[in-house]
Amino acid sequence: MLRHKNSVEESHYDLLSVKEDASYEEIRTSYRVAILNYHPDKLQNTRQMSHVLNEVQDRFLKIQKAWEILGNSKLRAVYDSELRASRKDRGDGVGVAAEDVNLEDMEIEDGGEVLELFYQCRCGDYFSVDSLELGKMGYTLLRDENKALPIILVRPKARQWRNIVCARCHSLRHYGKVKDPTVENLLPEFDFDHTVGRRLVSAIGARSVVLLVVDAVDFDGSFPKKVAKLVSEAIEENFTAWKEGKSGNVPRIVLVVTKLDLLPTSLSPTRLEHWVRQRAREGGAGVIKKVHFVSAVKDWGLKDLVEDVITLAGPRGNVWAVGMQNAGKSTLINAMGKWAGGNEGKLSLLTEAPVPGTTLGIVKVEGVLPGQAKLFDTPGLLNPHQITTRLTRDEQKLVHISKELKPRTYRVKEGHSVHIGGLIRLDIEELSADSVYVTVWASPYLPLHMGKTENASTMLEDHFGLQLQPPIGEKRVQELGKWVRKEFHISGSNWDSSSVDIAAAGLGWFAIGLKGEAVLGAWTYEGVDVVLRNSLIPFRSQIFEVAGFTVSKIVSKADQALNKSMRLHENKRKRSVHNVTAADKSLSLMVDAGTNSC
């Protein structure tokens, strides 16, 4: 149903009577008109009542303040982000999925001849369409004098409602990036505890089902430990209250491991589930109702997941999808909607993109659950200890895993090191055996290097940002900060399989296979989480990598650039030597000529 914008606090744009996308010149012109209309000097010689004078003066000050903010590009950007956040918080923090919005759900502003429909997208952006544009699309706006809201939207026959997306969502969907990264950094951080956490732990209200969404290839980096502990504590407390006959809403945790298609198909499902449950318990999820392994790309496991969620939620329950940024929540929910077979006209379609932060507010997802049950998508939680949060978009592309992982195995002796790009290094410091097997599980686009540890400083100075990327470029090496070391004492009993993993959040992991004991040192940028865990994938490659750089496009390009630079330097040196030789010969001839003349 169409609504007027009538319950919203007056913004700076309203004070100056301009649109939120108005240019600087439009804002300045409107400000000059407004400031003249409400200037206190115009009322000094009138007999207006004191309260009227006060209202005018108050309005004058508000207009002045609005101009100070909107007339400054930086202050305006901050104000716009705060305005978007306040709109998302309105209505107790829950909004409708608005990046795909029907025209009938948009609000109307009556500007006379031209009518404007607008909507606040759940991603935080704002978009609008006017009656002239609608006419070109085949829609008509009519006025009904018999109703309080004198606007009726008439769609053409045999045409479905057209869905519109805001500029931010369109850019994310089609280009994999946000339209304005500078403004994106000003968006306020989502307060999960205040907005969602208190609902999950409440002992009253509708039944709660929590979908903990975790990335299969970055389990430890994407597992929401804080939320898992919060919900587990609520389960324990509310279950005790329920047994005592009190009101006790006991939340259900459903652990959903996404991107299953990226793990090797030869991995045992039974072993994988045992491993996942163990890591989840260690991460704070004490009681897990169900574990589901899914792939939205391959349509694996979605049918069973949807059926279990519907059963657990019941006819009136609330289902909350929670996970770290870029764990695949939006992709998962879109796939669940297709499998649920809901009304396509009501089905919400969430923006998917291989970048963090596609969801900036709570989204009520329509068309997935039956009855009065509700599904909510929440903003991806930020893990500042994931290495991807520090990388540029081009660097993230190299780290991003989009195909089934393949092992790259080294047989490494004591005193040697293995680099994954310029992001992490594993040193084999002490061994009770002759060597150890190190298998790298990471994006195939990341170049590797194995060599002596004593040459590590040379690698940093000569090859980081070039042959070893990311970081891309020598300047980025300095920007990412200093390296720190973390020591691990490990032991193994089998040469044929890996015993433990050393995993870096957001990057990948080293799988270690040995029979005996070892002391290993992991070096990476300060603040990046590096953990020791039981091995996820026990097997290794049958063909070993050789010492030096792995063959990759990055290494090849860097070598070509280096060789070109060396050739240019050598040619320049040869020309210099040639010029000096020619000058010497010329000088010798001049001396000889002078001697002969004497």
Give CA separation, 159 vs 115, 118, 138, 586, in Å: 22, 21, 9, 89
User: What is the rounded CA–CA span in Å between residue 210 and residue 199?
Assistant: 11
User: What is the rounded CA–CA span in Å between residue 221 and residue 200?
Assistant: 23
| Cβ atoms of 141 and 116 closer than 8 Å | no
What are the backbone dihedrals phi and psi of residue 131, each rounded to the nearest 5 degrees, phi first?
-65, -30
Query: Do residues 421 and 322 both lie within one domain?
Result: no
Residue 79 lies in a domain: no
Chain segment 388-424, per-residue pLDDT in tens: 989 988 899 999 998 999 999 999 999 999 999 999 9
Query: Do residues 407 and 491 both lie within one domain?
Result: yes
Nearest alpha-carbon partner for 291 in 338, 252, 326: 252
* CA R_g for the chain: 32
Domain boundary among the residues 338, 362, 383 is at 383
- Residues 386/387/393/395 CA torsion (nearest 10 deg): -150
Residue 216 lies in a domain: yes
Confidence (pLDDT) at 171: 53
- Does the pTM exceed 0.75? no
Position 81 pLDDT exceeds 70: yes
Position 467 pLDDT exceeds 70: yes
- Count of structural domains within the chain: 4
DSSP state of 462: H
Query: Do residues 352 and 395 both lie within one domain?
Result: no
User: What is the rounded CA–CA span in Å between residue 57 and residue 64?
Assistant: 11
Confidence (pLDDT) at 343: 45
User: What is the rounded CA–CA span in Å between residue 288 and residue 279?
Assistant: 12
User: What is the rounded CA–CA span in Å between residue 371 and residue 356?
Assistant: 32
Nearest alpha-carbon partner for 352 in 561, 226, 171, 132: 171
Quick one: pLDDT band at residue 362, thresholds 50, 70, 90? confident
User: What is the rounded CA–CA span in Å between residue 335 and residue 259?
Assistant: 12
| Cβ atoms of 149 and 3 closer than 8 Å | yes
Confidence (pLDDT) at 356: 45
Confidence (pLDDT) at 106: 63
Query: Do residues 422 and 359 both lie within one domain?
Result: no
| Cβ atoms of 520 and 428 closer than 8 Å | yes
DSSP state of 489: E
Nearest alpha-carbon partner for 556 in 467, 423, 470, 451: 467
In the numeric block, which tokens belong to residue 261?
């298609």
| Cβ atoms of 329 and 213 closer than 8 Å | yes
Pick 24 or 544 by higher pLDDT: 544
Confidence (pLDDT) at 98: 35
Confidence (pLDDT) at 118: 60
Strands 208-215 and 126-130: unpaired
Position 42 pLDDT exceeds 80: no
Nearest alpha-carbon partner for 221 in 314, 126, 326, 302: 326
Query: Do residues 246 and 221 both lie within one domain?
Result: yes
User: What is the rounded CA–CA span in Å between residue 47 and residue 488?
Assistant: 83
Domain boundary among the residues 383, 411, 441 is at 383
Residue 186 lies in a domain: no
In the numeric block, which tokens belong to residue 339?
């499998």
Confidence (pLDDT) at 25: 84
Confidence (pLDDT) at 97: 35
Number of H helices, E strands in the chain: 18, 23
CATH of the domain at 31: 1.10.287.110
Mean pLDDT of the chain: 76
- Residues 554/560/564/570 CA torsion (nearest 10 deg): 110
Nearest alpha-carbon partner for 422 in 480, 335, 368: 480
Strand ranges of the sheet holding 500-504, from the earlier edge strand across to the other edge: 408-413, 435-441, 508-513, 500-504, 530-534
Position 161 pLDDT exceeds 60: no
Query: Do residues 309 and 452 both lie within one domain?
Result: no
Query: Do residues 356 and 499 both lie within one domain?
Result: no
| Cβ atoms of 97 and 363 closer than 8 Å | yes
With H, G, I as helix, E, B as strand and everything else as coil, classify residue 516. Answer: strand
What are the backbone dihedrals phi and psi of residue 448, each rounded to the nearest 5 degrees, phi first?
-120, 160
Query: Do residues 399 and 533 both lie within one domain?
Result: yes
User: What is the rounded CA–CA span in Å between residue 502 and residue 81?
Assistant: 39
In the numeric block, which tokens belong to residue 457?
């400083």
Chain segment 276-320, per-residue pLDDT in tens: 999 999 999 988 999 999 998 888 999 999 999 999 998 888 899
Residue 122 lies in a domain: no
Quick one: pLDDT band at residue 515, thresholds 50, 70, 90? very high
The neighbouring-strand residues paired with 489 are 519
Chain segment 225-262, per-residue pLDDT in tens: 988 998 888 888 777 665 655 556 788 999 999 999 99
Residue 323 lies in a domain: yes
Confidence (pLDDT) at 147: 44
DSSP state of 382: P
Burial of 392 (0-12, 13-18, 19+ CB in 10 A): middle
Residue 331 lies in a domain: yes
Chain segment 127-142, per-residue pLDDT in tens: 566 666 666 666 666 6
Confidence (pLDDT) at 3: 32
Position 504 pLDDT exceeds 70: yes
Chain segment 338-356, per-residue pLDDT in tens: 877 654 444 444 444 444 4
Range of the domain at 294: 192-383
Axis-axis angle for helices 50-70, 24-37 (nearest 10): 160
Say which residue the tokens 């804002």 belong to. Answer: 27
Answer positive or negative: Cα dihedral of 332, 361, 356, 535.
Answer: negative
Query: Do residues 364 and 462 both lie within one domain?
Result: no
Nearest alpha-carbon partner for 231 in 192, 190, 262: 192
561-592 per-residue burial string, b: 16 or more CB within 10 A, e: under 16:
eeeeeeeeeeeeeeeeeeeeeeeeeeeeeeee
The percent of residues in the chain predicted with pLDDT above 90, rounded, is 34
Q: What is the DSSP string of 214-237?
A: EEGGGHHHH--HHHHHHHHHHHHH
DSSP state of 464: B
| Cβ atoms of 9 and 15 closer than 8 Å | no
Residue 5 lies in a domain: yes
User: What is the rounded CA–CA span in Å between residue 82 and residue 62?
Assistant: 17
Chain segment 442-451, per-residue pLDDT in tens: 999 999 999 9
Residue 467 lies in a domain: yes
482-498 per-residue burial string, b: 16 or more CB within 10 A, e: under 16:
ebeebebebebeeeeeb
Chain segment 371-395, per-residue pLDDT in tens: 888 888 887 788 889 999 899 888 9
Could you tell me which residues come within 8 angstroms of residue 362 by beta carbon, excluding any fewer than 6 positions away?
88, 93, 94, 95, 122, 195, 196, 376, 377, 378, 379
Query: Do residues 508 and 578 both lie within one domain?
Result: no
Nearest alpha-carbon partner for 377 in 122, 119, 167, 92: 122
H or E element that contains 411? strand 408-413
Confidence (pLDDT) at 238: 73
Confidence (pLDDT) at 591: 45
Query: Do residues 199 and 279 both lie within one domain?
Result: yes
Q: What is the mean pLDDT of residues 462-479?
A: 90
H or E element that contains 448? strand 448-452
Quick one: pLDDT band at residue 154, thresholds 50, 70, 90? low
Domain boundary among the residues 71, 87, 106 is at 71
Chain segment 175-230, per-residue pLDDT in tens: 455 455 444 333 344 456 666 666 666 656 678 899 999 999 999 999 999 889 98
Query: Do residues 529 and 564 both lie within one domain?
Result: no
